[in-house]
Structure 1
């Protein structure tokens, strides 16, 4: 099936451009903010800034979850709703983690909660990727890249949960699927 199948009947085809751009923009802002807060501010001891970034990213996760619903629904409504629910659950976990950076600051708790939450995030990406693979709109190869990204995060979360020390993060390589999806949402989705 081609990406144009869903838009074959302009009267019944949903307008996916707006939700795609909203989801893509939310993902893009997160992709910029998260490294600033978690890779720069947090290690420098700027806990308030890191907490603000974490809480902002959690809100953007909810925005992305809702905006992605109609796009992922092209691969099945159940898949879309499960993916959205998992992303909102991850946002809740990340909110709890971010709150650990407020007074009294507990950076170790932040990392423990965030690491556990990455399993939920990985599950979200696995389901979202499966919806993309099944979709008549999203190119199948993008879906598989998102599945790989989810598997990478899930693997890393399990490694941390079992207490295995690893200098290698699979998610640091497989995250490319998220970036490709973000770009596709902003540039291509919903255009004819």
Structure 2
């Protein structure tokens, strides 16, 4: 089933709504991509603040689990409470010092890529889904990217913002060229 098959079955009002949604989100995507390209520093600051806010809410949720999770064993409640307090404090610090939170975010991303890379390398021996050499190469690239992200965090994050902004603009433009056909005009 293709996108065309689906759009042929939609009522005219729904098809118009889909088209309008694609146009609006594409225009917003293009504008956001341009803003990120023109003001990468401000974009990184917004990312830092959003990261801090997410840490704050994750910490608060963990604390909630520690106090409200009556079905959880006592040890898990303590773990949730301690993690919640640490993450909540990290979120507050990150909100007060967003520049440092970007460095922390870069370390998180880098460590995640390193673990993912080693996971790919070790999984290459018994995966039926991809050639072993491809999994190993993918893992090595991921480990290297993680090390670069940690070692050169500001350059790596700025590059990530630029690449993401360009991808957002390109994908948004492509979406505009793949709009479903307009509903047929009613016969008079």
Give TM class, smaller chain: 0.3 to 0.5
Bigger Rg, structure 1 or 2: 2
Which TM-score applies when normalising by structure 2?
0.34
Higher relative contact order (CA 8 A, sep 6+): 2
